[in-house]
Amino acid sequence: MERKTATDKKRGTGAKTNNKKPAGNENSERWVEFWNASVRKKESVTDEEQAERWNERADDFGKHAGSEQRMKRITGLLAFLKEAGFTPKGKKILDIGCGPGALSIPLADAGAEVTSFDIASGMLDRIRETAKKESLKITTVEGSWWSADIDKLGFRNKFDLVIASSTPAIRDVETFDRMMACSKKYCYYNGYFGMNRAKPEDARKSLPEILGIESGRGHAFGPGGRAHGGPGLMFAFMYLYTLGYQPTIKFNNRVRPDMGWAEAVKRATERFGRDRKLTPVQKQTIKDYYKSAAVDGMIRHEPTNVSGMMVWNVKN
């Protein structure tokens, strides 16, 4: 409260309008400079390249999660939204970077009218199939959020809830502001809060490094700019806070369960083999990697990937 008063007084600004860019202040401007300086150059990937990447993955994307895991995620999300005052029934929702509909589908199922936006037609094909089969109110819109014209799309100030869940569609201040501008009430953002972690001197190289392959390519251009390591949530959260919002936030400590090394090999081989054909040497490398890393036959995963979700009311 004190902070809000201080900023408003300083800038002489009143309540925020959600028709345009959020009214900034000196503090938020400093943070925006930091955010801008931390994001990779935009030219490094084009809309077309991004569409192609995601279309390549469209057939399988999101199919690895078990139904139980998916169910748990959705229940958690709905409870979180409810806590902030949002219930889906009869509401208009925009799901940016919806993918095959991991959130769009259950939200439509809960009674919302969902606009699902994605760069990859292949992902949207999958959603439409499901929507048809289950008679859900979902409209799909294909496009790149990076260059989206929300006035032409008729998105501005239109939705009760705008979602951006672990998507590279929101990659900087510009695309984040654009997301906010579409909402007349709530926004939901989910992203990694992963920090650059200093490795101890003797740390093993990561498996992708050893294999010489690029990892996390899907999100390599995500918020913060770095593959899965980009502290996207930090930038977005701090930006909101300096603007005077107090988002409800919940961290997710994704500790992967311990598993036998053979199981870890199986999973990694599948994971890395998804986007490329692994050579016998690479397969052997993966095997050796986990075998030597195992303690009493088990692989322990370190809890480094902390992600978080946050929800805020654009009018508060």
Site residues (CB under 8 A) for other proteins?
1-3, 6, 27, 30-31, 33-34, 37-38, 193, 195-198, 200, 231, 234, 237-238, 241-242, 246, 249-253, 302-304, 306
Task: Show the DSSP H helices in 84-214 as ranges.
Answer: 104-109, 121-134, 173-181, 207-211
Q: Nearest-CA neighbor of 33 among 316, 242, 178? A: 242
Residue 31 Cβ vs other proteins, minimum distance, rounded to whole Å: 5
Q: Nearest-CA neighbor of 129 among 97, 94, 105? A: 105
- Cα–Cα distance measured from residue 314 to residue 243, given in angstroms and rounded to the nearest whole number: 11
Q: Would you say 117 and 163 are in contact if contact means Cβ atoms under 8 Å apart?
A: no
Q: The tokens of 144 are what?
A: 């790149």
Q: Whose Cβ is closer to other proteins: residue 30's or residue 42's? A: 30
Q: Whose Cβ is closer to other proteins: residue 37's or residue 281's? A: 37
- Cα–Cα distance measured from residue 316 to residue 302, given in angstroms and rounded to the nearest whole number: 37
Residue 6 Cβ vs other proteins, minimum distance, rounded to whole Å: 5
Q: Whose Cβ is closer to other proteins: residue 40's or residue 266's? A: 40
Rounded to whole angstroms, the maximal C-alpha distance in the chain is 66
Residue 249 Cβ vs other proteins, minimum distance, rounded to whole Å: 7
Residue 51 Cβ vs other proteins, minimum distance, rounded to whole Å: 33
Strand partners, 163: 95, 188
Residue 198 Cβ vs other proteins, minimum distance, rounded to whole Å: 4
Residue 34 Cβ vs other proteins, minimum distance, rounded to whole Å: 5
Q: Whose Cβ is closer to other proteins: residue 38's or residue 269's? A: 38
Burial of 236 (0-12, 13-18, 19+ CB in 10 A): buried
Q: Would you say 268 and 207 are in contact if contact means Cβ atoms under 8 Å apart?
A: yes
Q: Whose Cβ is closer to other proteins: residue 24's or residue 97's? A: 24
Phi then psi for residue 262, to 5 deg, are -65, -40
Q: What single-letter amino acid sits at 241?
A: Y
Residue 228 Cβ vs other proteins, minimum distance, rounded to whole Å: 15
Q: Whose Cβ is closer to other proteins: residue 157's or residue 246's? A: 246
Angstrom distances, CA of residue 96 to CA of 68, 132, 171, 292: 24, 20, 12, 42
Residue 96 Cβ vs other proteins, minimum distance, rounded to whole Å: 24
Residue 299 Cβ vs other proteins, minimum distance, rounded to whole Å: 17
Q: Whose Cβ is closer to other proteins: residue 46's or residue 196's? A: 196
Q: Whose Cβ is closer to other proteins: residue 66's or residue 200's? A: 200
- Cα–Cα distance measured from residue 146 to residue 314, given in angstroms and rounded to the nearest whole number: 21
Q: Whose Cβ is closer to other proteins: residue 37's or residue 295's? A: 37
Q: Would you say 114 and 88 are in contact if contact means Cβ atoms under 8 Å apart?
A: no
